[in-house]
Structure 1
Amino acid sequence: MEDIQNTQHPDPSLINILLVFNPKTNKIEAVKTIDDKGDLKTVPNTKKNQNQFLKIDKQGDLFSNFFSNFLSQLKNPTLFNFFKSPLKESENIGKQIQHHLTHPSTEGEEFLNTYKILTPNTNTMSTNPLSEKEYQYSADQIDWNMMSKFGLTQEKLEKANALDPMLKGFKTNGLVPVTINLGTALTRMDARLSLNTNDAGDVVINIHGIRKEPNFNFKFLGHEFTAEDKKNLKENGNMGRVVELINPKTDEIIPSVISRDRLTNELVAYKVENIKIPEEIKGIKLNEEQKQTLIEGKALYLEGMISTKGEPFNAHVQFNADKKYVEFLFDHKERQQQSHSETSRTFRGKDLSDEQYEKFKGGQTIYLDGLLDKKGQPYQGYITLNQETGKVDFSFQNPNKAGEQAKPTEGHKTQTAVNSEGKTNEATKNLKEPLQKGQQTPKDKNQQAKQDKPQSRTRKRGV
């Protein structure tokens, strides 16, 4: 159509594309255009088709205005589920969306809501307000000079799809690599990030580091955990009841619910008065009794909900203090049975070929190349499906030929330990840039000079 056309943009980093779940093929495809009859035209979501993708400026207002216009020209827009994705990562993100639609889970629900675009009269995968909430902060309010001291830049956060939820007042959906440089000490860690306003009115960053487990030995804002509280928080992440907490600054008593951040094990409280319960969840209208159950922090079982794929399903729902919305609690046993019956064809974003998949399902060890660590550097390794647990075992060495394969894969083990786990390799400990594929030592004279330069003892962990 005249208003919906595929225009060229000079900077790919500023471009989003539209992905759509095609109910006829049950696949995620890339939107190409809308024809004169209002029918949606799509192409397979692959790099070779990128020149045909419908491309849109990713800036908030421009995207919103474009999408509203797009829907107005589309015949039967409520039949489709749309997702937006950066052009550069569209193929990988599309594969992950496809995987999470095929294998529903609580974690997958969060991933889908990061990219899903809300359309009129359509149900979301959850009650997550992230995609529709207004921005609380702007990128201009952030002290990027201070952020650089943590190894963070606006470009890095945007590329990781981490900045948008922060600007809306949420934590990042996933863990972000952070470097804390104290001059005489350098610490690398993975953490979730959020923004806050201090007493002076400045926007500051909160770093939510990973804890081994929640600390139940001390009171939490005046609340002493019961055995049942601890059990609930450990097993599903939500305590399941309202308790009175004490504001440490004002001594005010605040009725609240408590949840555990499943990524960091941090305990998070949320005021009951701020809880918002939706009128409808996946096609099921809630009555007042059901709403009250959720406000009280309890789990509620709903039957006959309709998934994004248009299929009916049943699940428990419960308000999560960390996420600030009502989430689905998919039964762990059901997920485990599903993983046994339908093994994923994708591992860490890489698709298995038909031959690899058949061998993998049969319990054979498969070699994979072209995997990417957290710094975007390639590595390789071996995967085996554990027939008893349904989980995937990964190894840098072929477990069937450990001694024979040790040498060629040792470099990849070092690379991922440094790039993804924040550990230190003595031979490259003074280098700031990520290690490249299989790298264990300085790659050239320039890196060797940096490595040889005297440095204070900094890092604590070793490979």
Structure 2
Amino acid sequence: MEQYTRMNKEEIPFDKLEKVGINRDFVTHMESNELRDFLNGFRSEKLYTVNATVDNQEYKIPAKIRLQKQEDGSVNVRIHPIQRLFIPDEYMGHSFTKGEKAALLGERNLGKTIELTGRDGKKDTYYLGVDNKTNELIPLRTKHIQVPDRIKGVALSEEQKQKLAAGGKVTLEGMTGRNGKKFGATLQVDAANRNISFSGFKQEKEQALEQKQEKSKGLKPKAG
């Protein structure tokens, strides 16, 4: 069943994309989830080489692209080039604390939800992260993330679900990978990629070995 999107393929302004140097067949190389997000106005997952003019000089630069629907129904192309990572003092009506700036600079994830003001002047609850490819701040409304009851075969407790939904980190053991092997990892909502990310992977064999080593360290030598 085809999912509803804000725009459809027929509305993609291929003429505008070609002007910035992107061939119209790029859509055929998108995964279904990536295409769905692209048609919903989110940034592309990949970087594309686009034309740019700086001081009357023509350059080709890597950038993400996204579609933006105008009030008159037309669709424009927005370019998001790689930029220097910078966290402003204020963003979408929110004044950052030193701790929040440090989290965004160091973890590239705020680690919690905050209230931000959208372009329409309405306030909403958001996750906030940094795009790993362009270094842009990426806000994501919390309604776009649904924390599941189970992840990779492991049931989440209510406490774990609430912590994830609030933007925090949760360590989960005993998950099953595509290769059928058990592993553990730290989970957190990733605003930039609009999903729940995994980090700090550990295979169960590694965990068992570490536990065995810790146990052996704790054994006292027998008296002779």
| Aligned counterparts, 1:235-246, within 5 A | 235-246=106-117
Higher strand share: 2
- Residue number among 161, 174, 179 corresponding to 2:46 in the alignment: 174
- Residue number among 266, 269, 272 corresponding to 2:142 in the alignment: 272
| Displacement after TM superposition at 1:155 (Å) | 1.5
- The aligned residue for residue 96 of structure 2 is 225
TM-score computed with the length of structure 2 as normaliser: 0.78
CA 1:150 to 1:182, structure 2 compared with 1: closer, same or farther past 3 Å? Answer: farther
Q: Which residue identity is paired with 2:142? A: V
CA 1:160 to 1:297, structure 2 compared with 1: closer, same or farther past 3 Å? Answer: closer
- The aligned residue for residue 249 of structure 1 is 120
1:149 and 1:181 in contact (8 A); partners too: no
- The aligned residue for residue 210 of structure 2 is none
CA 1:278 to 1:203, structure 2 compared with 1: closer, same or farther past 3 Å? Answer: farther
- The aligned residue for residue 23 of structure 1 is none
CA 1:264 to 1:241, structure 2 compared with 1: closer, same or farther past 3 Å? Answer: same
- What is the SS of the residue equivalent to 1:234? helix
CA distance in 2, matches of 1:247, 1:160: 29
1:193 aligns with 2:73: no
- The aligned residue for residue 300 of structure 1 is 170
- The aligned residue for residue 208 of structure 1 is 80
CA 1:182 to 1:263, structure 2 compared with 1: closer, same or farther past 3 Å? Answer: closer
CA 1:211 to 1:133, structure 2 compared with 1: closer, same or farther past 3 Å? Answer: farther
CA distance in 1, matches of 2:191, 2:3: 16
CA distance in 1, matches of 2:167, 2:143: 12
| Aligned counterparts, 1:437-456, within 5 A | none
- The aligned residue for residue 183 of structure 2 is 313
CA 1:139 to 1:273, structure 2 compared with 1: closer, same or farther past 3 Å? Answer: closer
Unmatched 5+ residue regions in structure 1? 1-60, 62-131, 339-463
- The aligned residue for residue 263 of structure 1 is 133
CA distance in 2, matches of 1:220, 1:300: 27
Q: Deviations over 1:427-463 (max 9, x none)?
A: xxxxxxxxxxxxxxxxxxxxxxxxxxxxxxxxxxxxx
2:127 and 2:141 in contact (8 A); partners too: yes
| Aligned counterparts, 1:52-451, within 5 A | 135-159=5-29, 164=35, 165-167=37-39, 169-180=41-52, 184-213=56-85, 215-250=86-121, 252-330=122-200
User: How large is the Cα RMSD of the aligned pairs?
Assistant: 2.9
CA distance in 1, matches of 2:110, 2:128: 6
CA distance in 1, matches of 2:20, 2:55: 12
| Displacement after TM superposition at 1:210 (Å) | 0.6
CA distance in 2, matches of 1:285, 1:291: 10
CA distance in 2, matches of 1:183, 1:253: 39
CA distance in 1, matches of 2:72, 2:55: 26
Q: Which residue identity is paired with 2:115? A: E
- What is the SS of the residue equivalent to 2:110? coil
TM-score computed with the length of structure 1 as normaliser: 0.40
- What is the SS of the residue equivalent to 1:301? strand
Number of residue equivalences = 202
CA distance in 1, matches of 2:3, 2:180: 25
Q: Deviations over 1:278-328 (max 9, x none)?
A: 221100122322211111111111111011111111111111112222111
CA distance in 1, matches of 2:20, 2:27: 12
- What is the SS of the residue equivalent to 2:95? coil
CA 1:275 to 1:226, structure 2 compared with 1: closer, same or farther past 3 Å? Answer: same
| Displacement after TM superposition at 1:183 (Å) | 11
| Displacement after TM superposition at 1:139 (Å) | 2.3
1:276 and 1:325 in contact (8 A); partners too: no
